[in-house]
A and B are shown apart, each in its own frame.
Chain A
Amino acid sequence: MKGQGPALEKKDETKGMNHSGIPASQSAITSQGLDLGIVIPFLEKYGGAERYLIECVRYWQGKHRITLYASSINEELLAEHGIGDKVKRTVIREYFTGEHSILLNALLLPKIWREEIGRHDLYHTHLWPTHLIDLRPMVWFPHEPLRMLHDLSYEQPVEDVARGAGRIIHTYPKYRYDDVDQHLGRAYLAAIDATDQASKPDRIVANSMYSARYLEEVYKVPVKDVVYPGVEPGLFTDLPVDPNLFVTISQLWLHKRIHLLIEAIALTDDTQLAVIGSGPEQERLQNLCRKLGIEDRVFFLSGLTNKELSLLLSRACAFLFAAIREPFGIVLLEAMAAGKPLIAVNEGGYVEVCDPGFSFLLPPFPAEFANKITYLQRHPEIARKMGLEGRNKVMDYTWKRAADQMEGLLLDTWGNSLSRRPVRENVDRRRTLFGIQYYLWYGDGFGEAHWNDDLRTGYVDDKPFIGYYRSDKGQTIEYHFDLLSKMGMDCAILNLHIGEDGANYRELKGIRNVFDIARKTNSPLHFALQLVPGSEDFSQIENVLRMIRSDFFGHPNYLHMDDAPVLFWFWSGAYDADRGLFSVISDTVAPVRNIAVSLRLPSETDEQKLSFRFFEGFTLFSPLEVTEEGHWSRVWSSAYKAAEKAGMRYRVATVSPGYDDRNLRDELRARNPHRFVPRKDGSTYRDCMEFVENLHEQPHLVVISTFNEFHENTHIEPTLRHGELYVDMTKEFVERMKRKWGDA
């Protein structure tokens, strides 16, 4: 039996954990909250792990942007516990069934989940095997290791459960046993064991000192952080006690040893046992009750509401618990909060919070339990006093305390991870970024997408050095990365068209590859998306924005300015003053630096009416098209100043080498009086550059239009017609400007 001394001593250890403060550098983002991805295999029942997660989320939901991931989500459970709509829910792939499913669920399923889970600032994962999702930074709260590999490996059920020559394997948190062939079972467990330790989360948090030591033993890493679960003491009602009623709460697995409690009840007179919980052992336990002749005294209950649970506990004389090495045992805290003395086995995490004033901690023998049951049954006044003592003790363990401690650990882990990330480019007054328009719409060879597949919109009469490339190919992307680096580009602007069916799949695939390759190659380049809205169905645009937020904004290579991701909008003017669109995109994307790359000029006076102050920067997509050559400088200058006068935060200028879409047969293009602006062997490009060089105010961003828009002949990518002329000009221009502006 553990005494008061050791329990307090261990608890003090947790007080010294690293969750006291948040580094100052984090304060800006934490004021908006973390973008937190929380993963748990199932969110159906109100078991210990689910309870922990739900109670924490309840406290965090107003402070952080949370997305819950689970293979099944019980909305009623969330609603009952006050989890609101602010917390996003995403159902991830369900567990495999059938042959070898145990292996698939252990090894493959977490990897599938990894693909399904969006990008977040931090991943907080619960239970096994969510650590194998391997997204970072990750705080893993396993609750327990896969005990079938360790202490429960010889606790498998006997033949009336295994039903045959095989064995059953319980890969918690699955609700059902897997019944497998004996040899296969061993092979499965060996394979799982080998992989289990392959992924090391940034932090492992335990629910008790006891679990921490166990996890250290299994994962061979220090587990320093312990967050005890909590309880809501105020929830419980004080009702007169029924001295004959005893309660246990547990899922009905073999290792919960409910059979021990049933045998104990059979050794007592006139007692009743309410077993609250469900699980695969229920039928076997009911049979045991029948054989012992106490089926009229043992009641299996499930699906109770919190209120019902509280009332039933209030009525009980004492709470019984006999599980093998319970990692913590939240239900014991709840029993304490309900003012119930504990009769429990002397092993498990909860022992750390128990003392003899309110608990009998016993060896796992039915007669020992029966003895204490009878004692409390006959001495209800002692039971009452013990219960009061337990209730006083539990006041230290609230869910708010647990949520705060866990939140501290999440923030600490996230803060530590920042120092390991590539530094994001943040533009300020002393630094001008150079970016370039980049297209990922090209298909696999001549005649395929955008390589002369459509004379109306897809005509190309120049040819890139590397031939008619497919945009999403790794070799293409890596070659382009080299060119962008050679030119001194800081970032590339990746175009993504949104049609009635949503995002263009080809471009999206290419964009994903760009980000993946950037990460793998540790590229110093940054990337930002440029959305090209072309749908009247604003929900499509809204969906794409959600996807971008979850999949790309958190990527270390995504371009940020002043600590927020940058999102460019190709702005034709078609959506000017469209409140419908702006209400959708304003709600969805904040906080984001939105920059218009427009076909129209910004308005000094009417931008509020036209774009509702949505844009923080405004530049021309194709400066050569807006007016006659003789007026270029005046009009560009006017546009540049107009953005400033309209109150926009960022100055952005665009340069272009020339323009020629005369080969495109789209009738609308024929109306453009400036559809052909010759390059003049680089002279036109130089004019644009000179304008930028002479700007009265240093821009935050200079955009080259474009790297590879071959239809309009604005490309600077090396081609058979122009060679490397424009790449070299760009390189010199960027070097010159960086020297001039002091950034080189």
Chain B
Amino acid sequence: MNGTAKNDASPPTVYFDSSHVVSETGGTFSLRLSSEALMADVFLSLDIYDLDNRVHPAGHLGWWSFRVDSVGDPLRGELSIEGNRVSVGMEAMECFNHWINEEEVPFRRLVAIAVLRSNTTNAIVHLDEIPAFRTESDHEVYRAVLDRNWDSPAFADAWFVFPRRSTIRIVAPNVFPGDAVGNFCLDVYRLCKQNDISVELYAGRCHLALNDIVRKTDALKGESTPDDTLLYFFSIYDPRLDEIVGLLFNRKIVYFHGVTNPKLLQVFDLELSKSCAQGLRQLPTLGEFDLMAANSTASARVLARETQQELRNIKVVPPGLIGAEQPKGRLRSDTSRREHSGAHFLSVGRMKSHKKIEDLIELFAAYLELDPAAECRIVGGQADRAYRDYLDWVVDHRLGARSKKLRRLENVTDEQLRRIYDEADVYLSMSEDEGFCLPLVEAMVAGVPVFAYGVEAVREVLGKVGIVFCEKDFTAIAASIHSLLTNRKRLDRVIERQYERGRHWLAAMDGRAVLSLFDPTE
């Protein structure tokens, strides 16, 4: 029983030709099926979801299935939107089955997913997806997630001429703005552009607003040459790793972000947890790269152990780039307001379960016993619905009527974030897994005293400034925070030392460390 392609043949593939669909301009799109699709026992399905709620059935508008009798050149289709209803058709293809959600699904924009499925098992064999909009202006709004002016912010200047025949091909399993790995990929892309270094960006999956600049990793093999340099970002399982390692490049560089402990994710994000577990098993393969780099010594230590390399052979490059004109923060000299009650807690980062936001809520509840006027802000996106629901439950149970003292903010602008740092009295990190933890640097340069659970990377970033703890004794930590905030002299000393540490990291993130990875003279 096997409905998919045989093992010795390439699996069938399906790709959209265009980057998006706009209904008001006809809603047309085209698909390219590989020739293997004809031989394989598969059918084509077009699945339409609310782009902002890709959940079945709440955000699922419907699916249409078509027999694959020809692969066309390409296959043409049409997506029409009327109110909150959609319909899909393919030229010269028989729709043999479909499902349309009986419930109305309100949406701002859609995602169209072309899926090749096994006729026998219904299993997904291959898929591609593009966003779909009612109007072109909706599309423009969506694209604004990334500033495409590559000259800003300005990073370090290269001290070498990069060979003209060579292209740096940045590859990552996923590229999503707002995510540490995605941000760093895009910044390195920007850094290369600013220094006239030929660069291309590839990903297995990306934010659909970026699909005009981020290419499919499947295309890497056909587009790369042996003169090129590969910069490969690894933070999670990549099904293409073996293939990528096998490609010919002038130089293959792997940049290791660390892999989150899958056990910390397994309750609220089963897929991510599984990908992390599989990613950990891939680490020995990274030893086949010519050069290894990592975001911290802590991550480098893991990489060295798994690849059986010397730690000193792994370059440590902080995982962020700070432009020359970007604010560097300021050392706040006026701490008088902290002598009053009503401390402002702050935590920034992805809303993932390894960050242990629930512990922050517990800590905040304990602190309210000492300072009933205190408030807490938690800034970050990408929360899984399940984790968000759980945090709601924890807030209800631990804070009850005081729930309004805690605010969770998603999608804040850089300017808003700066203001939030300005208003914060203490920065908290309860995370139990970090590769680096950039918000600690932000807090230090913003003059916000840091209290952090002392995982290895956090201790490395703080470098014996701020305050770390190794036991989550919420009452004791709350008392420690209160003690610091009510002791002005000690508080000033802590902030001053943190600021120096923060400046050290800003200097290290101007782009030179990344450029050194490409230096042809080394």
Q: Are B2 and A291 in contact (CB under 8 A)?
A: yes
CB distance from B322 to the nearest CB of A (A): 37
Is B316 among interface residues, defined by CB-CB distance under 8 A?
no
Q: Are B125 and A293 in contact (CB under 8 A)?
A: yes
Is B121 among interface residues, defined by CB-CB distance under 8 A?
yes
> Which size bracket describes the interface of B in this complex?
20 to 34
Q: Are B273 and A299 in contact (CB under 8 A)?
A: yes
> Which size bracket describes the interface of A in this complex?
20 to 34
- By a CB distance below 8 angstroms, the chain A residues around B124 are 293, 296
User: If A237-B393, A239-B386 touch, does A293 touch B266 (CB 8 Å cutoff)?
Assistant: no
Interface string of B45-64 (1 = CB under 8 A from A): 00000000001110010000
Q: Are B386 and A269 in contact (CB under 8 A)?
A: no
Is A315 among interface residues, defined by CB-CB distance under 8 A?
yes
Which among B123, B271, B385 is the interface contact of A293 at CB below 8 angstroms?
B123
Q: Are A291 and B273 in contact (CB under 8 A)?
A: no
CB distance from A158 to the nearest CB of B (A): 15
Which among A243, A293, A299, A315 is the interface contact of B122 at CB below 8 angstroms?
A293
User: If A293-B122, A294-B123, A378-B57 touch, does A301 touch B386 (CB 8 Å cutoff)?
Assistant: no
CB distance from A539 to the nearest CB of B (A): 32
Interface residues of A in 262-312 (CB under 8 A from B): 266-267, 269-270, 272, 274, 291-294, 296, 299, 301, 303-304, 308, 311-312
Is A732 among interface residues, defined by CB-CB distance under 8 A?
no
Bound state CA distance, A266 and B55, in angstroms? Answer: 18
| Given contact pairs A296-B124, A315-B267, a sample of 5 additional A-B residue pairs in the complex whose CB atoms are under 8 Å apart | A239-B390, A291-B2, A293-B124, A299-B266, A301-B266
- By a CB distance below 8 angstroms, the chain A residues around B125 are 293
Is A705 among interface residues, defined by CB-CB distance under 8 A?
no
Give the residue among B55, B56, B125 with the most A Cβ atoms within 10 A: B56
Q: Are B121 and A293 in contact (CB under 8 A)?
A: yes
Is B431 among interface residues, defined by CB-CB distance under 8 A?
no
Nearest 6 CB-CB pairings of A with B: A293-B123, A270-B56, A299-B270, A240-B389, A311-B267, A293-B121
Is B4 among interface residues, defined by CB-CB distance under 8 A?
yes
Bound state CA distance, A299 and B263, in angstroms? Answer: 12
Q: Are A244 and B2 in contact (CB under 8 A)?
A: no
- By a CB distance below 8 angstroms, the chain B residues around A301 are 266, 270, 273
Bound state CA distance, A238 and B394, in angstroms? Answer: 11
Chain B: residues with CB nearer than 8 A to chain A? 1-4, 55-57, 60, 118, 121-125, 263, 266-268, 270-271, 273-274, 385-386, 389-390, 393
Q: Are B393 and A238 in contact (CB under 8 A)?
A: yes
CB distance from B27 to the nearest CB of A (A): 25
Is A644 among interface residues, defined by CB-CB distance under 8 A?
no
- By a CB distance below 8 angstroms, the chain A residues around B57 are 243, 270, 378
Residue of chain B at shortest CB distance from A273: B270
Q: Are A311 and B266 in contact (CB under 8 A)?
A: no
CB distance from B14 to the nearest CB of A (A): 15
- By a CB distance below 8 angstroms, the chain A residues around B389 are 239-240, 315
Bound state CA distance, A299 and B390, in angstroms? Answer: 20
Residue of chain A at shortest CB distance from B274: A299
Q: Are B270 and A272 in contact (CB under 8 A)?
A: yes
Which among B121, B390, B393 is the interface contact of A292 at CB below 8 angstroms?
B121
Bound state CA distance, A291 and B123, in angstroms? Answer: 9
- By a CB distance below 8 angstroms, the chain B residues around A292 are 121, 123
- By a CB distance below 8 angstroms, the chain A residues around B266 are 299, 301, 304, 308, 312
Interface residues of A in 242-276 (CB under 8 A from B): 242-245, 266-267, 269-270, 272, 274
Q: Are A312 and B267 in contact (CB under 8 A)?
A: yes
Interchain residue pairs with CB less than 8 A apart (7): A240-B389, A242-B385, A245-B270, A274-B270, A293-B118, A294-B123, A311-B390
CB distance from B102 to the nearest CB of A (A): 10
Interface string of A312-332 (1 = CB under 8 A from B): 100100000000000000000
Bound state CA distance, A292 and B3, in angstroms? Answer: 9
- By a CB distance below 8 angstroms, the chain A residues around B122 are 266-267, 269, 293
Q: Are B386 and A242 in contact (CB under 8 A)?
A: yes
Bound state CA distance, A39 and B293, in angstroms? Answer: 53
Give the residue among A239, A240, A267, A293 with the most B Cβ atoms within 10 A: A293
- By a CB distance below 8 angstroms, the chain A residues around B268 are 311, 315
Q: Are A308 and B267 in contact (CB under 8 A)?
A: yes
- By a CB distance below 8 angstroms, the chain A residues around B3 are 293
Q: Are A269 and B4 in contact (CB under 8 A)?
A: no
Bound state CA distance, A303 and B264, in angstroms? Answer: 11
Interface residues of A in 655-691 (CB under 8 A from B): none
Bound state CA distance, A291 and B125, in angstroms? Answer: 11
Give the residue among B60, B267, B386 with the most A Cβ atoms within 10 A: B267
Bound state CA distance, A57 and B445, in angstroms? Answer: 54
Bound state CA distance, A701 and B287, in angstroms? Answer: 81
Residue of chain B at shortest CB distance from A300: B274
CB distance from A261 to the nearest CB of B (A): 15
CB distance from B113 to the nearest CB of A (A): 12
